Structure 1
């Protein structure tokens, strides 16, 4: 709106914002009760506020409700998870086998998020030299949805142990759409103040992740 300046965010808001970031967790254990009416639409509306290269808005959302399609996704997870387990040995394999890595059974909402790599929106601005920016834009939308969901007390789990081609075929989406994220969404059974994989002993915080290199 012309003549309207940006809002001012005070210190209390900024502290709450960091608290929201800290409590954003990958959820695998969901209650089965449905989301509040209209909430999924609100989350997707928020996701569409994410930045995108060239204002291309390449995200495409598919709600997966059909039992046969959900079964196909679960079958893909099972096959990929077994293959992943085979890549570990000894104690690491034993720990991997105990991890809860998806919420496909209980989450009331399953949302596949695709990148429309053939979109004309944006006219190629910013993505001719770095075409992967289209998918990065979709990731930004996923993160925006995720944080908004947490603010509503809703959990999100990103299931990446999947064959993207198998999922794409099962969902019968248009040509040129590439799977970026498969999300389980619902109210969490419990709220965890730290990442579940950290609590399970899979990975501690990596000090190198915070390191800033100067050149």
Structure 2
């Protein structure tokens, strides 16, 4: 996994007057099986103002759940905590700090290690992080086999609630709602021009 950040320095000031619209993003390039993925995600904070990915921290809050209440705590681990792990795993965030509150009052803060602690913990609750990653790998393989090298039309994949299968629909170029398109023509054109320029520069270097 390789990462880049969208700012040279994270904001380490203690000024409480912050703007919610501002965010600190990490750009991640990972290999998942035979797939190369490039995406970005928001990073909540870094330990001691560090820029190292190993010091990234995800912040969460949750209504207090008594660990002695097996039913509620099992549900919390299997559903909410597992989703927190997925989000952190995708960005390579090693630490989750979760504050539990009761009637708006913070009761305690718990720290979770996403690399070793949580995967082992999920095994006790019939949740497998490996199965989750393997599913993503198989899904991306299926997407590639369906789409191929078609970069003009739109394929919409979806899984309905409680359904076991993922379905997709195909929409020809020009017939798709623009809100469903996330790779726009302007972006594809810019990438193509950048690639062409890179190839030209490489030729010049060889000559």
Calculate the TM-score normalised by the size of structure 1.
0.23
Larger Rg: 2
- The higher-RCO structure (CA 8 Å, 6+ apart) is 1
